[in-house]
Structure 1
């Protein structure tokens, strides 16, 4: 499973480039010596938010992850250790769209890659329309391609939220700042973008929401303008807890071994 949008974006960019080349407080009781009365501490916002991030105890759910150029969608089934990831990217100069999907179940992964709006283009790889089973030994980018199930926290939010200052502005609504100047920031943007943001990366504003059952439903970071990249929101949303489509191993008739052309494209 691709854990971060940044990794997925890098993968898509590489594939697109290859395709482009091919195509051209408690209160005290009364009395000075009395012991403090037992009280129940108010929930700590950070602890509450961290506990809300999807984990292996959650029912299946769907997700969407967005940055300034890419959108990822999919489903996660923690009980069966399975994830489904989908993305689309438009190759502006050539006009075609690449549709890419990954399916991981435990320690196996499959991919499906198709192209649309290809009229007049030649040289794009011809790939099976079925799920293509991947051999990890034939992949050169272990970070960019999901080869096994790695957990329900598909957006790597727990390590990110560890670097936050959080307040609860209303029931289920949280806000604060997050430090994305270190390693956690690479899950959202490139090292170049982090360098461009500079010191501001240590206090980027964010908002998050949690539903009545204590489950995270949204997380959003406001990223400022850097160079030619305008300000944008990096967002993660979760929905359909318990009702998301099932994720399972594809039927034998719907899967084939990935051909050499698939590895050439993915590894480019």
Structure 2
């Protein structure tokens, strides 16, 4: 895996200065594919039940999956989009409402193999001046003009958009019943960067080693939901970090835009913070 930040991290680090934009700050998609190995067969005439942890790991989206949609949520950010592993492409969308000025910034990213585009627009801007004038089209990104391209999605980086493979590898207890899984996950180590900010991890302390989670898998062995219960830290109330997958084989197609324009300098000022 090349990038450790999740999509939420990538969007949040895109800062917008006070008088003109807004700030998306904080900490959370990455990659990592593969399937879990099945348990070794028992003696003749018997069968060994699949290991729940291995089954859950194997359910995480990988390059063999058909296209699907996803939603990733934490206490303040929601990302939605589609993934098409067959053509190495990811589409993601999010919106941020400025609590003081009242406008909403809508951001979208699209990656197809080693190319990337962004789209940014503003709504609810009545009475406001000074907002940036950006093309109302997909803007083709030049990674060399991004000051920290490892934290923004500049190329396809695998079907595991929520970086759940390394997270689920740290589960310590997994119980299952009819496609429903629950247990605890250790988010005190490196994999936690894909779920929690450093401040949150420090605030939780030792409790980060045994955070409760729930997950569901469909009848075809594909992950559909993953939820971690995050306790209150400082002024942040307890919340659910959740990932939802769906529309396997039915999600809208993800393709390179045909009318994209080169991203202007102002777009890079936004993306570089």
Normalising by structure 2, report the TM-score: 0.88
Does residue 264 of structure 2 align to residue 262 of structure 1?
no
Assess if the C-alpha contact under 8 Å between 2:63 and 2:85 holds in 1. Answer: yes
The aligned counterpart of 2:179 is 172
Q: 1:133 Cα deviation (Å)?
A: 0.1
Match of 1:211 among 205, 209, 218: 218
Q: How does 1:109-258 map to 2 (within 5 A)?
A: 109-251=116-258, 254-258=259-263
Q: 1:41 Cα deviation (Å)?
A: 1.4
Assess if the C-alpha contact under 8 Å between 2:217 and 2:224 holds in 1. Answer: yes
Q: Secondary structure at the match of 1:143?
A: helix
CA distance in 2, matches of 1:222, 1:5: 19
CA distance in 1, matches of 2:4, 2:73: 14
Q: 1:21 Cα deviation (Å)?
A: 2.8
Structure 1 unmatched runs, 5+? 29-35
Q: Radius of gyration: which is bigger? A: 1
> Which string of whole-angstrom CA distances, capped at 9 and with x for unpartnered residues, describes residues 115-144 of structure 1?
011112111110000000000000012233
More helix by share: 1
Assess if the C-alpha contact under 8 Å between 2:4 and 2:194 holds in 1. Answer: no
> Which string of whole-angstrom CA distances, capped at 9 and with x for unpartnered residues, describes residues 197-234 of structure 1?
00000000000000000000000000000000000000
The aligned counterpart of 1:31 is none
CA distance in 2, matches of 1:2, 1:191: 13
Q: Secondary structure at the match of 1:137?
A: helix
Structure 2 unmatched runs, 5+? 23-38
Q: 1:246 Cα deviation (Å)?
A: 0.1
Q: 1:23 Cα deviation (Å)?
A: 6.0
Q: Secondary structure at the match of 1:21?
A: coil
Does residue 111 of structure 2 align to residue 104 of structure 1?
yes
Q: 1:38 Cα deviation (Å)?
A: 5.2
CA distance in 2, matches of 1:3, 1:149: 14
Task: Name the count of aligned residue pairs.
Answer: 254
